[in-house]
Amino acid sequence: MMTSPTQPKNPRVLIIMLVSGILVLILTCVSIAISYFNTIQSVRLSIANQSMKAASTVADSLDVDAYQEFLRNPVKETPAYERIEQQLNQAREQFGLLYLYTIQVNEDRQSGRAMIVARPPNAQQNFDIGMPIVLSPEHIQMIYGGSSAYYSDIIRDPDYGVYMSAGAPLRDREGRIIGIIGVDTDVAIVEDIGNDVVRSSIPVFAVQGLFVVVLIFLVLCMERWYQRAIKAAVGETEETYQDELRSVICSMRSIRHDFVNHMQVLYGLIECGYYPKARDYVQSLLKETKLLDLTVRFANPALMVLLHTKWEQAKSKQIVMQFEECSDPIDNIPSTDLIKILSNLIDNAIEAAELADGEKRVSIYFCCDEEHIIFRVENTGPEISTEQRTRIFENGYTTKTEKKCGSRGTGLTIVDSVVHKYKGKIEVWSERGITRFTVRLPVK
């Protein structure tokens, strides 16, 4: 016998896992990028603030008299130049700067020139007095517009490396701007810090991704458990209805058989001319019909069918079944659960009443009030001892000695589970040849 290749049981699960994995990867990459960008921005702003503070400190402490003397004769071989260069070198080493220099703004205020430059000892570049530098007109306008300092974006230069520029106004003793103190700070460390942040964040993002995967797995497990629970509940309900349907079919066959017999008897009495006896026979059938009509007076259709079926079963075993009417629809509880409770209690009552020595009777009563729905099933027959009452709701335990089928000991377990489902109570009373089960379910 050939079999088809195994197909995935649920392709939707694979799709969900694939989409979830892609989303986790995208979110992880976005999180890493955001962390990298935020770290770079934070470090850049920190370096910019330190650079502006260093430029302002140098501008406040610089010997402006010597600098003004240098401006009148801008050459290197003067005491004023050497004085300013010495101060700039000391400040450069103190603040850990790449370059520290003075700037002379051109008359058009669109550019500037470097006048005196303090550079690292290993620098290969030569800086002549008055050499042009990169200085944007916006920064010049900020200085002359009253700003205390400025800073630039990160600059990548093949000759000078990766750095940030900052500047502060240099004023004379009267407060007039005579130049700008410019600083260049090495920011190659910023990229190293960003890379370190990314590397240190990978374990965190891995844990987050693992958490998402575990969460998805738990959701899928819960969904599968829920589907199994629904399937089990549907299967149990279907089994209950199939049992009751078989009982209804048996009852219909019994009614049809009885109907044929009754018609034959009536036909024979009428054919033989025994009209009074035929009338008495019809009257006895009417009494039986009235007893049967009690089951039609219940408002719940499912209960009506159930009670009619059980009435036929009791009648076939010469058991009197009595009903106390209930006009309430009892729609607070699903019919499936009502049938689970009553069908099992009535079945047990019929089996017990069948063993009674004297009167064989089953009484059924249920009603509703403001707080509870009450079911009561009473029967004659053998009593249930105190010891048995403590165990009758255990799965597989039975008080019956005959084992007609393999499902003994499960009926009351089903009743007990439904009662607990609605947080109700079940009471058992058994004395003087009468046993009574009372179920109380709270009205939601």
Q: For position 5, what pLDDT does the model report? A: 43
Given a contact cutoff of 8 angstroms between Cβ atoms, the answer to whether 380 and 359 are in contact is: yes
Walk me through the domains of the chain, giving residue ranges and CATH numbers: 17-192 (3.30.450.20), 294-442 (3.30.565.10)
What are the angstrom distances between the C-alpha of 262 and each of 274, 316, 410?
A: 15, 16, 39
Nearest one of 83, 64, 80, 55 to 174, comparing CA atoms: 64
- Residue by residue, pLDDT tens for the chain (444 residues) are 344 444 444 576 677 777 777 777 787 778 777 877 777 777 788 888 988 999 999 999 999 999 999 999 999 889 999 999 999 999 999 988 889 999 999 988 898 999 999 988 887 777 889 898 888 899 999 999 988 899 888 888 877 778 888 999 999 999 999 999 999 988 776 666 666 766 776 677 677 777 777 777 787 788 778 778 777 766 666 666 666 566 667 666 766 767 777 788 777 878 888 888 888 878 777 766 555 555 445 667 777 778 888 888 888 888 998 887 666 667 778 888 888 899 899 999 999 999 998 899 999 988 887 788 888 999 999 999 888 888 888 877 777 655 444 455 678 888 999 999 899 999 999 998 999 999 999 876
Q: Which residues pair with 157 in a beta bridge?
A: 161
Q: Is 428 exposed, middle or buried (0-12, 13-18, 19+ CB in 10 A)?
A: middle
Rounded to whole angstroms, the Cα distance separating 373 from 93 reads 91
Long-range contacts of 35-44 (CB under 8 A, 24+ apart): 35/197, 35/198, 35/201, 36/194, 36/197, 36/198, 39/193, 39/194, 39/197, 40/190, 40/191, 40/193, 40/194, 43/187, 43/189, 43/190, 43/193, 43/194, 44/154, 44/164, 44/187, 44/190
Q: Which residues of 253-289 are buried (b: 16+ CB within 10 A; e: fewer)?
A: eeeeeeeeeeeeeeeebeeeeeeeebeeeeeeeeeee
What pLDDT does residue 4 have? Answer: 43
Instruction: Give the pLDDT score at 287.
Output: 63
CA-closest candidate to residue 345, choices 395, 416, 401? 416
Sign of CA dihedral 325, 327, 329, 333: negative
Give yes or no for a contact between 434 and 378, defined as CB atoms under 8 angstroms apart: yes
Predicted structure pTM score: 0.44
Distance, in Å, from the CA atom of 150 to the CA atom of 88, rounded to the nearest integer, reads 19
| DSSP per-residue letters across 284-327 | HHHHHHHHHHGGGG-S-HHHHHHHHHHHHHHHHTT-EEEEE---
Q: What is the pLDDT of residue 299?
A: 64
Give the residue from 111, 149, 118 showing the smallest Cα distance to 133: 111
Report the candidate in 41, 47, 48 with the shortest Cα–Cα distance to residue 149: 48
Burial class of residue 14 (count of CB atoms within 10 Å of its CB; 0-12, 13-18, 19+): exposed
What single DSSP character describes residue 273?
T
The pLDDT score that the predictor gives to residue 243 is: 65
Distance in angstroms (rounded) separating the CA atoms of residues 187 and 46: 11
Cα separation, 163 vs 429, whole angstroms: 93
SS3 at position 391: coil
